[in-house]
Amino acid sequence: MDGPTLFRGGFARRSAAWWTAAGIGAMLVTYAATRSPRQSNSPALENKDSDDAPGALNALYQSEKADASAIFNVSMAMMGIAAAYVVGAISLAEKYGSDSIPWPVVVLLPAPLWVIVVFHSLITLNAMNHGLSVLILEDRLFRRARLPRRGAVRRRIGSEAGDQVMDIMKSHWAHKAATIFCYAGVGFLVVGYTAYDVVRWWPHGGNGWRIVVLSLYSLSFVVAAASWIVGLWKLRDAQNVRDELCPRLR
């Protein structure tokens, strides 16, 4: 590789700086959105006979519901950011290898996508766990309000109503297909774009850099996959706890 080409092209430097700033900004917005105020622990939750218990339970439910909603919204926004990034980067493909986008920059273009993919796995799994917490609290509130805790009526009230569409274990086959299409589509988009950039760059890289690049993106894929696998495994344990505490939700 021609080392000085890394520093030629004001366009490439400005683009890299812009995408870096956008990524940092997205992370900060995500962190701020998911850090909603939490209710302090109340001894009323430990005393079933306390007059304050219903209010404390309702406050905790509202806090969990707000957290789950904020995290889910950020998760969907990050999927949109990743898709927009790929479309914008592909539109510059004809300039790959020029002074404005030298080959060392080309091979690094997929890197921000993998940061988004890995972080997206964390916040999505976080939202799923919050969703289970909301269901458990809803069951307690339904019991206190003497509302139906199972059957058709229960499936039309609260989080269960949304789960009939978004929960792949409960939704209709059409909604299952739509969910798989969305998540698999983004995954194939990221992997495909990474492969495209690496293939375009490959003839212009030395043997040492080829090993580094392959190791970097392979490690990114493994980290993202491991995050999903471990997170879903722990989510299954959380579902078992939910089923034990709320057998009527099975």
Block means of pLDDT (10 residues each) for the chain, 250 residues, are 44 52 54 47 43 69 80 83 87 88 92 92 84 80 77 74 76 86 86 93 90 95 93 76 60
Distance of CA 217 to the CA centre of its chain: 19
Q: Give CA separation, 124 vs 30, 59, 71, 201, in Å.
A: 12, 23, 7, 33
Instruction: Report the distance separating Cα 125 and Cα 131, nearest Å.
Output: 10
- Residues contacting 151, CB < 8 A, separation 6+: none
What kind and span of H or E run contains 144?
A: helix 111-145
CB 111 within 8 A of CB 117: no
The CA-CA-CA angle for residues 209, 212, 214, to 5°, reads 110
Tell me the pTM. 0.68
